[in-house]
Structure 1
């Protein structure tokens, strides 16, 4: 190679264009060939392994030499797009890689699922839904597209009900990490499990007398994540009825009521929580938001300041 391998690897990884990713694929091929042909005790072998692993982790992902060039490229583009989103939050560059992936193979389901997530970041839910629909035409039961379509529909409902952007709603409901979980080969400690996303859309069991207050609290949290505020509030209220001493549930119900737009009721819950020595920055932050919702800017500012002091 014309320049030291380490320098070239780092230079290509620092770039975010599709052409540089294609060069990473070629470089990975060259390294693999060198490893096959070099004597096992050759001094360059350990370094070549390091360079190859560096490219695999942050560049192209696992590459199978038995695959054809098109299959190899589509996987590399898809993987690199995911890493650009994960490592750098560069959703524009990531989207270009998913575009290139789907140009190489218009029937590669992970590319559509990941590009749909880029459209969520851009606030373009119709485009995200269209990518899900494209997959369902040729792979209707692909698990991740089913989960992704459910996520798009959920965020669409939240935006129509509460306003704001899809990302703002995902963050407010504690599900942003599902938006930013990508369909790619997993690496240790790097890839969140998309099985959690599937579990999110499983209907939880209805409350009954056998559920403990803790279980009801967990149920309330899950229901609030998927925008089912009335059921979430009901579960939290039942948890309070069964264990009135659990003041943390007042914080939970206050959060649910803020999300649902029930500001006055939220203020009551959060005030009860704060008056019961449950002081946290989160409680002040939520109550500040509730005060803003009812037009009491002076109290909202005071609570926002208290939240800042608590975090200081």
Structure 2
């Protein structure tokens, strides 16, 4: 009897993992030769820097306010107040402070980069990209500006441009693990799995505990057909992190493809234990139960998946298979027709081959 199961692969990623490059406070010492107002400004400025570095951001903000009250054209105080406001998620005032810092020092690539980050946080992605571009023009060796512009271009699905930016980031900083990771994601989207695997590996060599790179390398190896390599990566990841339902689901999918249905069943069950509303795992467990000829359980899991997502075409298809094996021909036909209605061509094929009447 025919038995083509609907087992859908869920590949993660192309989610980018942005490294943390918020502006760093610039340290200066108090100069005794300055005039009293300037000396006072320096005193508050240095106090603000110290508090910023201690992550006492509200206290740092007050000191930078006092520094600027004593010296209104204090560019470094505008810059550091901006970085402090960014840390406090007060993005619009941060942009205003970066504007003032750039008015006083138009060639400050760090102010351009910082303003780009604040604008990106405000959802002003085009303006942020412009700032990152200007920063690269002023300082071509400033890796974070290339990296963040690449991330924005990745989000726009301009993967070739993103890859080129990550190339430049790595040229500026060959030890930039996040840039290797995200270049790998761009390469993966472009179908260059070999290069993507190499870059994920480089990221892991630089940061062995960079677990997202391990998970993404596993998914890429799976797409490239290296199921044993993928399984090894999933095992390593789960050995270090046991609470990720998606990792169990993807390892289960790999085991399913290798014909290890009992192993797949254990992984999908663990994923469901971690996330009871995980319709994808429920449907994949249904497909596994079909392979194991446990048709009642397959129908039950597919039904649970459909209570979570009534438009889940693959779950209708799998429940149709289970109902057919349970001698519920009418129910099977209804499910296959519904799968076809939702755009799954296999539903039409199964309905036709089983002699279902048209609906």
Q: TM-score range by the shorter chain?
A: 0.3 to 0.5
Greater CA radius of gyration, 1 or 2? 2
What TM-score do you get using the length of structure 2 for normalisation? Answer: 0.42
